[in-house]
Structure 1
Amino acid sequence: MKKLLKIIGIVLLIIIVGVFTLWKVLEYRGNHYYKYLKTEKDLEKKYSKLGEYEVSFKSFNADSDVFKEYEIWYPTGLKKSSNKYPVVVIANGTGITASKYKSFFKHLASWGFVIIGNEDKNSRSGESSSKSLDYVLKLNQDKNSIFYNKIDTGNIGIGGHSQGGVGTINAVNNWGNGKLYKAMYTASATASFWGQEGQLGTEWAYDITKITIPYFFIAGTGHFDSGEATSIKETSGQGICPLYAMKDIYSKLTTEYKVMGRLLNIDHGETYQKADGYMTAWFMYWLKGDKQAGNVFFGDNAEILTNANWQDVKINK
């Protein structure tokens, strides 16, 4: 009996160690996801990696029970630099606050951006993104802040995933400082179908026709993201961001520069990480003038058009 108990104890210990090891491996991969992205093309690979800048982090009390904190990731050399840095505001997905996006924020900041987010769990109105932008611009004017006179106010972008996609659109359209944004990006933005009475409600609504700045929007082909519907009349298996809804957005956008695409075999919860390289390239081009990054999207040989990881790509320029 003692021998049997000893064997059982050893087996349990092996299982516990194995589970703990697996958990630590998965945790490491999650915190360093950019090392494990399956990239197809040279520029996708380049911008999926960490950039050249070491990254630091600061948080600030938001004096709000909803937003809680403003969190900023930024190039460590900013404090001693005479340069100004472009800003990207991130709108959170449902329940996924900035503190849960740490590696995502770090990646973008490593390319020379100041990235600001908050702890808003319901970002769809765009208010928390508007407040975040106000706050970082306030720091830019505060002589006691390390961000004093370090923000490139002519190069500000915004992006968001899922509900954060709705928040991104509404932050640009419905808030006074929305006019300051130069470019935008969304991953798997909740389709306008859901912003109706009888669905999620009109607080999820947005007006895509008001967008006038360059807009790159993506989703995945996985079932949860795309669903089965081929038109708004089909509600069974609707999906969060189906292809027909993306095509509708593209057709209604009047902005001069618009790009859409879907990641092959990627579902809703993964899109913001899997598209990280091209999101980075989008902001590098529009906010930092990186011409090589522009080769992802523009020209006869735009990289995204021949990338096997992507399908349903549309580009108007």
Structure 2
Amino acid sequence: MLRRLLVPLIALVLALTGLPNTATADTAATGTGFPSVGGNWGAPGPYATAVDVGAITTLYYPRDIAQSQLRHPVIVWGNGTFAFPVVYRELLLHWASHGFIVAAANTPQSNLGISMRAGIDLLAGRNADPNSIMYNRVDLDRIGASGHSQGGAGAIVVGDDSRVDTILPIQPGPLANVDAVHGPMFILAGQYDSIVWPSLVKAFYNDADHIPAIYGEVRGANHFTVVGDPGPFAAPTTAWFRFQLMGDEEARGEFFGAGCRICADTSTWSSVRRNALATQIP
């Protein structure tokens, strides 16, 4: 009797407080079993989150991952010059709330991608360790790479790693070569970025004719719009990773097909381009 009374009471408290109800967060909806968010990519996802600050990597992840019945995809992150993961905390926690494990490199010099690759190695170890809360909960077959500024260049650099399936560079610096990237790319610029000009980001996009590539220029954004509250960067980046790494078919139409939603959204985007390989994806 007491248990029957407590269950609806707990559900009511969760509804009133707006906290994610992680007890139901594994109800299947996407291709890999993650719950639907109804296309609301910019809203917090269904998972409560936790942070683990290590010597080389800071992890942002679903708090109750040990009780999850799913394997959670990975996003490795690179910081901008002289920045650390805490600068991008809101964006990284946002991704974690949607079910991703984010391995953020604890370095202000991410360009070479060394610490970003180390994040993958760290999670491979956690996944294999019976004493870890992430034991058998890390999906090492679904890994994305992202980063801002110098870290965006780092995301391009690690895009040549066979373990990385897709990349999402945000206003990437110039010291990278996109020719070795083997997975789909969504590359973002800021309309009013005076540090990494949109033309520099377009150059990466133009060179990426061997992979499906999409260029998005965020209307009104400067180089630091993504810092702190990620604002217009939260929703499209989440949708991209949900489609690419979770098989979330609800997110497909944001980027692909004749009805490409970001292509028509002139309030968010000052420019969107898709190359020939991207337009071939239904």
> Given the two structures, how large is their TM-score scaled by the length of structure 1?
0.71
CA distance in 2 between counterparts of 1:155 and 1:117 reads 16
Partner of 2:238: 280
Alignment of 1:93-108 (within 5 A): 93-108=80-95
Report the CA distance shift for 1:246/1:58 in structure 2 as closer, same or farther (over 3 A): closer
Return the match for 1:71 from 54, 58, 67: 58
TM-superposition CA deviations, 1:268-313 (whole Å, max 9, x none): 1114623121000000000000011111100111110111220221
Name structure 2 gaps, 5 residues minimum. 1-36
Return the match for 1:184 from 161, 167, 179: 167
Partner of 2:71: 84
CA distance in 2 between counterparts of 1:44 and 1:247 reads 31
| Counterpart residue identity of residue 197, structure 2 | C
Which structure features the higher share of helix residues? 1
| Counterpart residue identity of residue 243, structure 2 | Y
CA distance in 1 between counterparts of 2:182 and 2:225 reads 28
Percent identical among aligned pairs is: 28
Match status 1:306 vs 2:264: yes
Q: How far did 1:45 drift?
A: 7.5
2:47 and 2:63 in contact (8 A); partners too? yes
Partner of 2:274: 315
Q: How far did 1:256 drift?
A: 3.3
Return the match for 2:187 from 207, 217, 220: 217
1:44 and 1:277 in contact (8 A); partners too? no
2:158 and 2:164 in contact (8 A); partners too? no
CA distance in 2 between counterparts of 1:258 and 1:215 reads 5
Query: Which of the two has higher C-alpha Rg?
Result: 1
Partner of 1:18: none
CA distance in 2 between counterparts of 1:265 and 1:99 reads 24
1:259 and 1:314 in contact (8 A); partners too? yes
Alignment of 1:178-257 (within 5 A): 178-190=161-173, 192=174, 205-222=175-192, 225=193, 227=194, 239-243=195-199, 245-257=200-212
Return the match for 2:106 from 112, 119, 128: 119
| Counterpart residue identity of residue 96, structure 1 | A
Q: How far did 1:116 drift?
A: 1.2
Deviates more, 1:142-151 or 1:75-84: 75-84
Q: How far did 1:118 drift?
A: 2.9
Matched positions, count: 236
Root-mean-square deviation (Å): 1.8
Name structure 1 gaps, 5 residues minimum. 1-42, 193-204, 228-238
CA distance in 1 between counterparts of 2:124 and 2:209 reads 29
Return the match for 2:156 from 154, 158, 169: 169
| Counterpart residue identity of residue 248, structure 1 | A
Partner of 2:25: none
**Runs ≥4 residues deviating over 6 A:** none
Q: How far did 1:85 drift?
A: 0.5
TM-superposition CA deviations, 1:122-165 (whole Å, max 9, x none): 11111110111111111111111111111111111110000101
